[in-house]
Chains A and B, each alone.
Chain A
Amino acid sequence: MQTILVVDDELGAIEVVATALEDEGYRVLSAANGRHGLEKLTEGQVDLAVIDFMMPLVDGTAMAREMKANPAFKNIPIIMMSAVGESVVRERFDGYAAFLRKPFRISALIDTVRRVLA
C-alpha cells in the first residue's frame, strides 16, 4: 500500500483529500503545517507529498525546499496545491511534480496522484 502525506492548515481540506485518497486504497498521513509535515516524513516511508502553499510556521514551499535538500526525502514527488495561481507558487519553488489549483474536483486529485505515482 502506498503512503501519501497530506499537509494543509485547513482541516476541511485535509479531511476531503484524505478521505478521497483512502477510498482509492492509499494510506494517508496528515499534518497541519510544514513543520509537522517534515516531522511526519521521518515516521516512515512516504511515496508522495501533497502540500498546501500557504500555511503557518513553515509554509508549503519552505517545506518542499527542505525536502529537496534532504537526501532522505529528495526523491519523494510533490504535488503542490494552492488557492492562488501556479505562477505565484512557481516563483518560490518549482521542483514539484504537479500543481492543483484550489478548489479542485476529487477526480482531478485522483488523476494527478495516479499520474505522479505511475
Chain B
Amino acid sequence: MTGADDSVPSLARLSSGISGLDDILHGGLLEGGVYILQGSPGAGKTVLANEICFRHAARGGRAAYVTLLAEMHTRLLQHLRPMSFFDESVIPNSLYYVSAFHTLEGDGLKGLIDVLRREIKGQKADLLVVDGLVAAQESAPSDREFKKFINELQAHASVSGCTVLLLTSGLLRHVSAEHTMVDGVFELEDQLFEFRTERSLIVRKFRGSGFLRGRHSFRISDEGVKFFPRVEAVFASASRPDTISDAKIPMGIPGIDKMLLGGLPEATTTGLIGPSGIGKTTVGLHFLSQSNAQEPGLLFGFFETPERLCLKARHLGLEVGKAVDRGHVELLWQPQRENVLDELAHRLIDAVRRRKVKRLFIDGLGGFLESATSPQRVSRFFSCLTNELRALGATTIFTMEVPEITGPVVRVPSSGVSALLENLVFLRFVERGSSLSRLLSVHKVRDSGHDPSLREFYITDRGLHVGEAFEGVEGLTTGVAREPASAAASPPPAAPNV
C-alpha cells in the first residue's frame, strides 16, 4: 500500500457560488457541515442564503429552504424575483420552500427535526437552509434539549452529506451551546460610518479549513451578493513571485524619459504628485498612448469619463481613443459615489489580470482614500495592493493631488502611502513675474540614477514637453521664482518640504 493510499481523503467542498465568498473560505463550505449564519435583521442573511440555494440548484444540486418564522414565502420570492440569480424554473424540483412554523408550534423540536430529516430525504437535498433558528431556540424547553436538537441535526447532515445553514438574528454576544457545536459561525453586519453604511462578514469559526480572518466587505445589488475579501488578507502574500528586471518602461515624454534615464523601472509604482490642473492626467495619457499589444494599458480613473479622457487626449495630439478601439488601452471609470475600498481594489486587480496590463495609470489616489471607512488601514492596504500590482508585472502610476496651487510646502496626501511608492515625480506651479510656470522634478527612482534638476514643462496641442533645467532663477521651490541679486551669492535651491 502506498503512502497516498493511506492518506485521509480531504473533506469535499460545497461551493457557495457567491463571488468572493469561496475565496474567504478557502474553497467553500465543507459538505455535510452545519453552519450558523447570523446577523441583525437587514444584515443580508436571507438574500445570501437564498442566492447560495439558487446557485447550488443552477449547478445541478438540490436544496430545501425551511422557515421557522411566520413569514410568507410568497413575499420572500417576490423580493428575490428581481435579482439576477432568481430562476423560478428550479422551484420546486431543485429548490423547495416550506414553512415548519406550524410543526414547531405544535410538535416542538422533535417535530421539527422530523420535518428537516424528511425534507433532506424527500427532496434529496444536499443543501438545507433553516431560516429562524432563534424560533427553535425559544421553543426549546431547556438548553439541553436545544443542544440535543443541534446534535441530531448534525448527525443527519453528516450521514446524508447535506450541508446545513442555520440563519439567526441572534448575535454572538457570548459563547453559547450552538456556537460551540456547529462547524462554522459566519457573522454579517451592516455598519454605519457617519452617513454611509457598509456591509461586512466576519468568519468567527470554520472547522476543518483555513479561512481569511477579519472583516470582509460585501455588497447586495440586483446582481446578488458580492464579497470583496479584504486586500490585506487576500494579498498578504502576492499571488506570484516578484520578478525583478532592469528593464525601463518609457513614459512617452522624451524629456521625462531622459530625466529617468530611459523610463520608469518595470513593475514599479510611481507617485505623480501635484495640484489640480498641473497636468497629471496629461502625463498619464502620454504613458498610456505608448500601450500596444505587448504592453496593454489601463486607466483606472475616478474623475473623468472615458469620453472626456479621449477628447482630452485628442486635444493633446495623443491617439488614446484609437488605442482603446484597438484594445490596447482600457478606460475604467469609477464614478465618485459610496465606493467600497476593497471592491475598487478587486475591480482594479481583476482588470489588470484580465488583460495582463503592463501600463497602469490610476487617476487618482484620492478616489481610494475617500472610499476608506477605516483610515488606519490605508497604509497596509496600499502596501498589499502595490505588491500585487508589481507581482502582476504592472508598471503603475498613481496621481496624488495636493491642495496647494503654489507655495513652499508640498503636502503628500498620505505620507504612509508615499513611502510605499518606489518613484516620486513632483509637478508644481511656480510664480514667475506675472504668470505661472509649470515645474517638474524627479525625487526618487528605485535602484536607478536620475536627473534631479528642476525643469519647466509646457502643455500644448502637441502634448507635454519638458524644457531645459532652470538656470539663473532662484526660489523655485518656494513657489515664487526670482532673479538672484548676485548669481555668485545665490544659494542652491532648497529641497522641497515633503
Contacts and interface: CB of A to CB of B under 8 A. Distances in A.
B101 interface: yes
Interface of B, secondary structure class, is helix
Interface stretch (A8-16, A40-48, A65-73, A106-114): A8-16
B96 A54 contact: yes
Contacts of A102: 72, 74
Contact of A32 (B71, B77, B88, B102): B102
Contact of A84 (B75, B88, B105, B106): B88
Given A9-B102, A10-B101, A54 B88 contact: no
B73 A10 contact: yes
A9 B101 contact: yes
Given A9-B99, A11-B101, A56-B98, A103 B78 contact: yes
A88 B91 contact: yes
Contact of B74 (A57, A59, A103): A103
Contacts, number: 69
B118 A57 contact: yes
B70 interface: yes
B92 A10 contact: no
A11 B70 contact: yes
Interface of A, secondary structure class, is loop
Nearest to A32: B102
A57 B114 CA distance: 9
A56 B119 contact: yes
B101 A56 contact: no
B88 A85 contact: yes
Contacts of B97: 54, 83
Nearest to A103: B74
B75 A103 contact: yes
B118 A53 contact: no
B134 to A, nearest CB: 17
7 contacts: A10-B101, A11-B70, A33-B103, A55-B98, A56-B98, A84-B88, A102-B72
Interface of A: 9-13, 32-33, 53-57, 59, 83-85, 88, 102-103
Q: What 8 A-B pairs come out closest when comparing CB atoms?
A: A32-B102, A102-B74, A9-B99, A56-B98, A83-B74, A83-B77, A56-B115, A10-B99
